[in-house]
Amino acid sequence: MSISPKVTPIYQTSVFTFEDLNALEAYFQEPGQHYMYTRYGNPNSEELAQEINKLERGAGAVVTSSGMSAILTAVLVYAQAGDHVLCAEEIYGGSSSLLSNELTRLGIEVTYVPTADIFSLEGHVRENTKLLLAETISNPMMTVMDLAQLAQVCQRKGLKLVVDNTFASPILTRPLELGADLVIHSVTKYLSGHSDVTAGVVISKAEADSTRAAQIMRTWGLNLSPFESWLGARGLKTLKLRMREHSSNAQAVAEFLEQHPKVQAVFYPGLFNHPQHAMAKQQGNGLCGGMLSFRIADDAEAVNRFMHALTHIPFAPSLAGVTTSLSYPLGTSHRGLTKEQQEKMGITVGLIRLSVGIEEAEELIADLGKALEAI
């Protein structure tokens, strides 16, 4: 009796066996046809990579141990000691820490580009500049990048464009189709979607770049475990449904917060007053995602009272799970920035980031309303 499982089994093994020397030679001569060691490749990690690659419509993808290792891999595909990289000023704090505190120690220079200069790059590009790193939707201020325009300026300047597409997901936006060279995700977030996986992925427009990313992953030991690969692939199956619900709920919550007297500002691309509203709707296929930020009084005690008054929404410094959670950028993701950098980005004491889940929107609004009244 032949066995044909509908779901790929978990290949929870660190090593694979060979029949003889001929089988070993076949492994090296026919890449992708055999497995030897899970750091080099595993059926579960390859399944996850291939499924994400289809969604992003790339030439190849490599999964990694976390979103941070995906960023590291992407930068190292194009840059080495003596090179210079550009990074959008509005970026995840972990990304800026990796660039400024670690990659500079390897001899890679880093310059942060203000949002006002991002579509010209005038005065920022050097002879040794290799790439620009940016986010489709910035963390935490929800600035939406016009990726087609950004790709054009990078092409004119001879730079590679690396886009962190975590906040959008390929359901909203596919950066490779808009001109990006590499796309990265924290699979931990929307792609997996259930707050039970730590993983990353790098998707390439060019097959040679994917080959290089795989080499970096193997050599640096950035591989993803079989079990987490299996969990990621399972979560991916509901991504389209989840993103629609995330977006619908976030729109309703943003509209509620926008009219509340104790909320000073709301940052969500789905609101008409968002600076990139029209472009965001077009680039996002009519959806704006499940992430938003809002500002209450710049008073730590007011923030604490708000958090304590919530019944169903926990304070959890991550995002994109099926259940709603809030985060505090000043004290978590962006605490490593200088006070001047925080203020310039608008990250103040009263700024709260909300990851809107797929619960009933009415329940979320009622919980948020009750907490706002407690301020």
Q: Indicate whether 185 pLDDT > 70.
A: yes
Strands 160-164 and 129-135: parallel
pTM, to two decimals: 0.95
Q: Indicate whether 33 pLDDT > 80.
A: no
Decide if 189 is catalytic: yes
Q: Supply the pLDDT for residue 274.
A: 98
The position carrying tokens 């203000």 is 114
Q: Supply the pLDDT for residue 30.
A: 81
Q: Indicate whether 32 pLDDT > 80.
A: no
In the chain, where are the structural domains located? 21-236, 239-373
Mean pLDDT computed over 349-353: 95
- 3-state percent breakdown (helix, strand, coil) of the chain, nearest 5: 40, 15, 45
Give Cα 236 to chain centroid, integer Å. 15
% residues pLDDT > 90 (the chain): 88
Mean pLDDT computed over 217-221: 97
In the numeric block, which tokens belong to residue 150? Answer: 């950004």
Catalytic residue (one of 130, 160, 174, 189): 189
Q: Indicate whether 369 pLDDT > 90.
A: yes
3-state secondary structure of 80: coil
Q: Indicate whether 204 pLDDT > 80.
A: yes
Catalytic residue (one of 39, 157, 262, 344): 39
% residues pLDDT > 70 (the chain): 99
Q: Provide φ and ψ at 105, rounded to 5°.
A: -70, -20
The more confidently predicted of residues 6 and 70 is 70
Q: Supply the pLDDT for residue 1.
A: 56
- How far is 39 from 69, CA to CA, in rounded Å? 14
Q: Supply the pLDDT for residue 205.
A: 98
Amino acid making up residue 6: K
Q: Supply the pLDDT for residue 51.
A: 98
Q: Supply the pLDDT for residue 317.
A: 86
Mean pLDDT computed over 195-209: 98
Q: Mean pLDDT of all residues in the chain? A: 95
Catalytic residue (one of 11, 35, 130, 164): 164
Q: Indicate whether 203 pLDDT > 60.
A: yes
Q: Supply the pLDDT for residue 2.
A: 67
Mean pLDDT computed over 316-344: 85
Count of CB atoms situated within 10 Å of the CB of 360: 10
pLDDT band for position 335 (cuts 50, 70, 90) = confident
The position carrying tokens 């997901």 is 169
Mean pLDDT computed over 91-97: 90
Of the candidates 194, 244, 262, 271, the one whose C-alpha atom is nearest the C-alpha of residue 361 is 244
Decide if 39 is catalytic: yes
**Is CATH 3.40.640.10 the classification given to domain 21-236?**
yes
- How far is 299 from 301, CA to CA, in rounded Å? 5
In the numeric block, which tokens belong to residue 132? Answer: 């620009």
Q: Supply the pLDDT for residue 251.
A: 98
CATH class of 239-373: alpha beta
109 forms beta bridges with 84
Of the candidates 30, 85, 42, 99, the one whose C-alpha atom is nearest the C-alpha of residue 218 is 42
In the numeric block, which tokens belong to residue 190? Answer: 């929307």
Mean pLDDT computed over 41-62: 97
Q: Indicate whether 344 pLDDT > 90.
A: no
- How far is 158 from 153, CA to CA, in rounded Å? 9
- How far is 252 from 161, CA to CA, in rounded Å? 33
Q: Indicate whether 124 pLDDT > 80.
A: yes
Q: Indicate whether 333 pLDDT > 80.
A: no
The position carrying tokens 């076949």 is 26
In the numeric block, which tokens belong to residue 71? Answer: 């960023």
Catalytic residue (one of 11, 27, 35, 92): 92
Q: What is the pLDDT of residues 270-289, one digit of tens each?
A: 999 999 999 999 999 999 99
CB 162 within 8 A of CB 131: yes
